[in-house]
């Protein structure tokens, strides 16, 4: 948050949770995908909710493929 004003353009990339997990599984394998689903994705979501990152951006890109 302390660096927000230093950026000229802020972009948030949103992805459907199902597609996100499919990509993680394809890239890292099924075992690591479980860890991402249970640990890393909830922490990432908590960060975005806590700091309101989606609300302060200039552009939201919705990843669909």
| pTM of the model as a whole | 0.80
Which contacts qualify for 8-13: CB closer than 8 Å, 24 or more apart? Answer: 9/58, 9/59, 10/56, 10/57, 10/58, 10/59, 11/57, 11/58, 11/59, 11/60, 11/61, 12/53, 12/54, 12/57, 12/59, 12/60, 12/61, 13/60, 13/61, 13/63
Mean pLDDT (the chain, rounded): 95
pLDDT for residue 65: 86
Share of the chain above pLDDT 90, in %: 92
The pLDDT tens digits of the residues spanning 39-54 come to 999 999 999 999 999 9
């Amino acid at each position: 948050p302390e660096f927000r004003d230093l950026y000229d353009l802020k972009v948030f990339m949103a992805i459907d949770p199902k597609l996100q997990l499919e990509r993680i599984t394809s890239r890292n394998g099924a075992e690591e995908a479980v860890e991402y689903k249970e640990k890393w994705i909830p922490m990432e979501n908590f960060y975005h909710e806590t700091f309101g990152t989606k609300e302060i951006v200039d552009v939201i890109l919705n990843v669909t493929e």
